[in-house]
Amino acid sequence: MSFVEYGDTIKDGDTAIVFLGHESMFPVKVQHGTVTQTKYGVIRHSTDLIGKKYGSKVTCSKGGWVFILHPTPELWTMNLPHRTQILYSTDISIITMMLELKPGSIVCESGTGSGSLSHALIRTVAPTGHLYTVEFHQQRAEKAKEEFREHGVEHLVTVTNQDVCKNGFGVSDIADAVFLDIPSPWEAIGHAKSALKAEGGRICSFSPCIEQVQRTCLALEEYGFTEINTLEILLRVYNVRTVSLQIPDLGKAAEDNSSTGFDSSNPSKQGSPGANLQQGTVQFKSGVPLREMVGHTGYLTFATKS
C-alpha cells in the first residue's frame, strides 16, 4: 500500500480507511490478530481485511457493514490525527495549481504540521519529484517521518527538524516551489529565495491574519519577487432539494378578459372567471445553499522569483 501507488488487495501493515458513511469514516492500521470496534460490530483484521480487495463491503459482527477504502491524500485530510490546524482540500487544490506543480517538481515546505498538505504535495510530484519539509517541533517531525514511512512515501520526502527562519530548508537553488505555513513567514522569505531555482520559482504563504499578509508582501517586494497576489478561497456547499411552485395561468386570464368584455373603467366588472381557477403545481430540482458555511480559514499569498 502506498499513497502514490494503488494496491489491489489489503495487506498486513497497510493503512486503510473504514467507511461507515459520508460523514463517518476513520483510518485503521491493518495488523494480524487485531480487531477494530465500530457501531456495527467488530472487524477482525485477519479474516475480514487481510487479503480482501480495497473497496470491499465487510460485514461486522452485529450484522452491519462497512466499506474498506484505499487511502488517498483527500481521505487522509478528512481522517488524519490532528497535531496542528490543517489545510483542507479547498485550499490545497488552489495551492498545487498556483505553484504549477507536476510530476518531477522539487518542493520545499514549512511547517509540516499534521501532514495534510504534505501528502497532497508528495502525490503531485511523484514519482520523480521530492518534498523537503521542515518542522520546528521535534515530536511532530518524528511523527511525520513515521507516517511517511508507514504510507510508503518516505523515498519522496525529507523531513528536517529545525527553525526555517534561522536555518532555512537545507537546500539551495533547486526548488521549483516553496510553501510557508508559519507564524512569521516574512522572516523566511530570504531562505525561500535561496532554496528556489535561479529563475521562475513560485512561492506561497498561508496566513490567517491580514497583518501577516501585509508584512509578507513587503518582504517579498524587498527580495525582488514579482506577480505578488493574495487570494481567499471560500467553499459554499449547496443542497439539492425538490421544490413545488404554482403554475401561473397568465395566458388564460388574458383571454377571459377579452371574451367577457372586460372594462377597466368599471371597478364592479373587474372580476375574471380565470382568476378563480385552481392553479396547478410543478416540481423541480433546485440547489439551496446551507444556512451555515465554513468561513475564513486563511489568506494565500503567491509570488514569482524574478
C-alpha to C-alpha distances, 148 to 8, 31, 173, 180, nearest whole angstrom: 20, 18, 25, 20
- The three three-digit cell numbers of residue 159, written as one number: 523531513
Structural domain including 44 reads 9-71
Domain stop point among 47, 71, 95? 71
pLDDT at 265: 52
SS (H, E, C) 168-180: CCCCCCCECEEEE
Question: 127 with 34, same domain?
Answer: no
Amino acid present at 76: W
**Is the same domain home to 87 and 215?**
yes
2 is in an annotated binding site: no
- Rounded Cα gap, residues 118 and 144, in angstroms: 9
My answer on whether 104 and 212 are in the same domain is yes
Is the pTM higher than 0.75? The answer reads yes
Taking the chain, what is the end-to-end CA distance rounded to the nearest angstrom? 41
Query: How confident is the model over 197-211, as pLDDT tens digits?
Result: 998 999 999 999 999
3-state secondary structure of 133: strand
Q: Is 117 annotated as a binding residue?
A: yes
Local structure of 90: helix, strand or coil: helix
Place of cell 371597478: 267
**Amino acid symbol at 237:** V
List per-block mean pLDDT (blocks of 10 residues) for the chain, which spans 306 residues. 91 96 92 94 95 95 94 96 94 97 98 97 97 97 96 97 96 97 98 95 98 98 97 91 83 57 50 50 88 89 96
pLDDT per residue as tens digits for the range 171-204: 999 999 999 999 999 999 999 999 999 989 999 9
Geometric angle at alpha carbon 284, from 282 and 289, rounded to 5° = 130
d(CA 178, CA 302): 10
Residue 177 lies in a domain: yes
Rg of the chain over all Cα atoms, to the nearest angstrom:
29
* Total number of domains in the chain: 2
- Cα separations (Å) of 135 from 206, 214, 222? 15, 24, 26
CATH number at residue 29: 3.10.330.20
Q: Are residues 79 and 222 in the same domain?
A: yes
| 135 marked as part of a ligand binding site | yes
114 annotated to bind ligand:
yes
Residues 33 and 99 in one domain: no
Judge if 99 and 137 occupy the same domain: yes
In the chain, DSSP assigns E strands to 15-21, 24-29, 35-38, 41-44, 57-59, 65-69, 106-110, 130-135, 157-161, 177-180, 202-207, 225-231, 238-246, 281-289, 299-305
Rounded to whole angstroms, the Cα distance separating 241 from 224 reads: 51
**Which of 40, 55, 71 marks a domain boundary?**
71
CA distance 130 to 154: 10
What is the predicted pLDDT for the residue at 278?
46
Domain CATH for 86: 3.40.50.150
pLDDT number for residue 254: 53
Q: Where are the alpha helices (DSSP H) in the chain?
A: 73-79, 89-98, 116-125, 138-150, 164-167, 189-195, 210-222, 250-259
187 with 85, same domain?
A: yes
| Axis-axis angle for helices 116-125, 138-150 (nearest 10) | 40
